[in-house]
Amino acid sequence: MINAVIFDLDGTLIETEKLKAQAYARAAIELCPEAFDEQEVLDAFGDFVGGSRREVSLGLMDRFNLAGPARKRMTEFGASEPWQVFTQLRLQILEVMLADEVLLRSHRRAQPLSLLQTIKTWQCKVGLATMSRCEQATRTLKVLGLADAFDFIATREDVENPKPDPEIYLLVADALQVPIGECMVLEDSVAGVQAGLAAGALVVAFATTMTREKLHQFKVISPYHIVEDSEDLQATVDRLFKLYNDGMQPDGI
């Protein structure tokens, strides 16, 4: 039986990955004005989405030769490494974007938000497992009207190891008092899917334009568990719920 559903936040309930990509792009352009355009960085971000700040920063810095310009500003930012300059620039830009409630609401994903409301009528517990920091997650949930929507919320501060480590999903399942094998996880990124699978949950991948190609490329989950058309999300979840609750083992968990 599925007795709990655990949602990811960024990319799943709200398309903040697009905002994060734009912040990286604008930070890169600030370091190297007129060397490339924003769209080039946005396209490259897709190769690193789901990684840690350090991994994404290092990847983009290498791709666009940002280490030299960043190194010149290390003293200004009190940084020990050039990638930290890039990260801090990006965070400054992102904070301004995330403070814009109208902008945030315009990036919500309607289908998983609707699914969340439906699941709450199924007598299932609902949790949230996000790699966002607590302050950012709290602000985003408030803007979405979801401040009280979850039975338990875990953020980056609550775990030692980020996704794809399963720690955060095991933590949420334990807090919900539901065995992880009775949990469904809704994720959008390769790292998130890997985390849910490694924990032992039933996972549904709700692909975004930034994660779709990687989900198929890395074959981390059965294609039958990947939702590419948002209109298919509810039907996919209903199908897997029924299969699992009827005692059949869906492929790919």
Query: What confidence score (pLDDT) does residue 50 get?
Result: 67
| CA 210, 197, 134, 86 torsion-angle sign | negative
How many whole angstroms separate alpha carbon 202 and alpha carbon 214?
A: 19
Tokens linked to 230: 């948002």
* pLDDT number for residue 252: 45
Pair 154, 129: CB distance under 8 Å: yes
Cα-based distances in Å from 206 to 6, 28, 72, 98, 149: 13, 29, 41, 23, 20
Phi, psi dihedrals of residue 188, rounded to the nearest 5°: -120, -20
pTM > 0.75: yes or no? yes
Q: Write out the CATH class of domain 4-15+108-245.
A: alpha beta
Bridge partners (DSSP) listed for residue 226: 205
pLDDT tens for each residue of the chain, 253 residues long: 899 999 999 989 998 888 989 999 999 999 999 899 999 999 898 788 767 789 899 999 999 999 999 999 999 999 999 999 999 999 999 999 988 999 999 999 999 999 999 998 888 999 999 998 899 899 999 999 999 999 999 999 999 999 999 999 999 999 999 999 999 999 998 999 999 999 999 999 999 888 888 888 888 899 989 999 888 999 999 999 888 888 766 554 4
CA quadruple 163, 210, 127, 162: dihedral, nearest 10: 10
pLDDT at 251: 53
Phi, psi of 90 (to 5 degrees): -65, -40
For the chain, domain boundaries: 4-15+108-245, 17-102
Closest CA to 221 of 181, 244, 178, 191: 191
How far apart (Å, rounded) are the C-alpha atoms in residues 70 and 55? Answer: 16
> Residue 3: what pLDDT?
95
pLDDT at 103: 93
Query: What does each C-alpha distance from 230 to 3, 15, 118, 234, 235 come to in angstroms?
Result: 24, 13, 15, 8, 10
Give the burial class of 248: count Cβ atoms within 10 A of its Cβ; 0-12 exposed, 13-18 middle, 19 or more buried: exposed
